[in-house]
Every structure is written in structure tokens, then in C-alpha cells.
Amino acid sequence: KQAAEVGPVPEFRSVLFRPPAAPVVGKAFAGRPYPKATVDAANKNKAALLRAGVPSKADMKALVTATARSMGVDPKLALAVAYQESGFDQSAVSPANAIGVMQVIPSSGQWASDLVGRPLNLLNPRDNVIAGIAILHRLGAISPNLSSILAAYYQGAGSVRSNGMFADTRVYVANVQTLMARFA
């Protein structure tokens, strides 16, 4: 396995510190409930991010751009996914325990770690962005088109193969494609 070389990335100019608060991760997303253990893990991760503080949205946007360029992924694609997933908010955590700017679930984070050849910590802003972009890069290599890449990122490649695109996946794909023009 070969480690991904990430070129120069901007230093964070600011960190948003938020007081620890009761995590507010819900129990369902897009009408799908998640098991208590998953939601509990999401709340634990949300609390950790809130305690640690996160870089500003502007810093995260710059990090996504620089990382995408260094990893050979179209920055417009990476920016559109990051914006759709989290609005560039590293403190975002979903009920599915999708973490950070790129909203990567732990099992996909493990896959991304395997792809880049080192452990990635999804709570770490740089590692979160590397994970999401490594996944986009790999999906780009195995998917026939942009819609398939985006559907697999959002819904999971196996689920798309088995079930086709869910209605919310089709909306997600259309939204990201529209956002790509915004980041042109």
C-alpha cells in the first residue's frame, strides 16, 4: 500500500472553540432510524469535536481545495461534496455517525485508511478531509460516471448496486452536481 502524498495545506488561521454542550445528534436521518449504539457513538464523537474546537469553515474550505489538488481529485467535486455534506463544518456528526466536513462513517474511514496506507482519525480535520477525498478518488476509479461516484459516496456502493439509488440519493446527486458549478 502506498501512502497518499498530501501537498502543502494551509495552516489554520483560527479555531472555533465552542463550550462543551449536550450533544444534539438525533436518532434518524432521511427518515431512517439508526441503532442506539450508532447514535450513542455519534453523540460521543460530537461531544469530542465540541470540546476540542474545530477550524473555521473558511479554513476547512481551503483545506478541502488543497487536499483535492494534491490527491488528484477535481477540487470542484470535493468542495461540492463537502458543502453538501456539512457546509464545511468539521463539528458536524450525523445519526449514522458520519463525522466531520466530509461526513465519513467509521467503516468508510477504515477503508480510506487502507487506501492511503495509514490510520486516519476522522475527528482530525486533515485526516477527515483526506479520508473523504481518498474515497472520492477511489470511487472515481471504479465508477462509470459522476452520478455513480456521488451515489456511492452518499448511499454506499454496495447499496446502490443492490437497491439502485434511493430517492434521497437522487436528490443528493443532483444537488452536488449543481454545487460543482458554484465552485467552478
Cell numbers 450525523 correspond to 94
Where is 125: in which H helix or E strand?
A: helix 125-142
Task: At 75, list the grid cell.
Answer: 477540487
Catalytic residue among 59, 85, 89, 127: 85
Rounded to whole angstroms, the Cα distance separating 122 from 80 reads: 19
Q: ∠ at Cα 22 (50, 44), nearest 5°?
A: 60
For residue 33, give Cα distances in angstroms to 58, 105, 165: 32, 16, 19
Counting DSSP H helices and E strands in the chain, the numbers are 8, 4
How many whole angstroms from its chain centre is CA 19?
Answer: 24
11 belongs to the catalytic site: no
What SS3 state is found at 121? Answer: coil
Phi, psi of 8 (to 5 degrees): -60, 135
Which residues, at least 6 apart from 164, have a Cβ–Cβ distance to it below 8 Å? Answer: none
Q: Which residues are marked as active site?
A: 85
